[in-house]
A = this chain, B = another copy of it.
């Protein structure tokens, strides 16, 4: 099978990821931070080590400010609901994933005001528009780092400057960029960075987290046992315990740590170069087809390795179905949980066919996919 659905979940995973998960269940299966015995301490060390590799990846000086969650959606719910109060104003883009759009929809009903910044026809955002959207009650800017539909990269560094200059927290959804683009929370002035483990960070599903800058206090989404200050009914105030209640996904976090170490060992530059080469070949190939429309920048320098297309007059789900069943190529059709993006692209009715690449894909697979599209198009009426 040719797997080109890496923007949903990367597959395959590095062997190191699988080994770390298995080893954790088999040899370090106790409850971390909830007992003084040796296996419990070893489980706690695994979690702390992953906190450290996450911190290193994003230039976070204090690993304790890395909080683990079940996925980026949970991280974003904690960030948005924890920060925004009725009467607050929040600025966002018009291409957000439902992980941002749906919590904001709920917050709107609770009295939070939302401004969506429109993008240009390639799905790119002008940072000046963020500056123009600022109001007296603006309490946060929340934005994905790159679109999961078009791959378009947002100018987070410039938006970060605007946010910092105006004393407004910037929340960045790095679901599509962590493990592909360089992310430096200080240089980019990111106050809350949410990430998922199971995409380009090569961790298993069920992992994710967020960085919360010192000085930002969020209302907790969940409270419960933390293994710390057990004598108190009040949730601990210190990070990460404040935001991490209940037994964590220790095997998953072990796998996430191994996934990030894999990235560090291969080198983020080398990984990015490989994926960019694949995307570049794919986009060049697509441009040869007159009946194919590419959404977004169609420029490897302006996007992550996610490419959305349609074939003129054809249903996106039918194309994806044929690619899967006839050519054994896994891609994704539909709305990709991003109605906002499709409204912007004018594809809310039909969706798009999305191809997304990872480090384990090859040039041969790119060529085979282009050949498959050629065959499909040649057989159309």
Contact = CB atoms under 8 A, between A and B. Distances in A.
A306 to B, nearest CB: 14
A321 B251 contact: no
B8 A30 contact: yes
A324 interface: yes
A17 B251 CA distance: 12
A337 interface: yes
A70 B244 CA distance: 11
Contacts of A72: 246
A113 to B, nearest CB: 15
Contacts of A339: 230-233
Given A37-B320, A39-B1, A233-B105, A9 B247 contact: yes
A18 B323 CA distance: 33
A184 interface: no
Contacts of A220: 106
Nearest to A102: B223
Contacts of A9: 29-31, 247
Copies in the complex: 2
Contacts of A187: none
Contacts of A205: 29, 31, 247-252
Nearest to A104: B233
Contacts of A332: 34-37, 40
A56 interface: no
A68 to B, nearest CB: 10
Contact of A26 (B12, B207, B235): B12
Contacts of A208: 246
B227 A35 contact: no
5 contacts: A8-B34, A35-B331, A69-B70, A70-B70, A207-B249
Given A105-B235, A106-B220, A206-B206, 16 more contacts: A8-B247, A11-B39, A17-B25, A21-B22, A25-B255, A34-B337, A35-B320, A35-B333, A36-B324, A72-B246, A98-B225, A98-B226, A105-B233, A206-B248, A230-B334, A252-B252
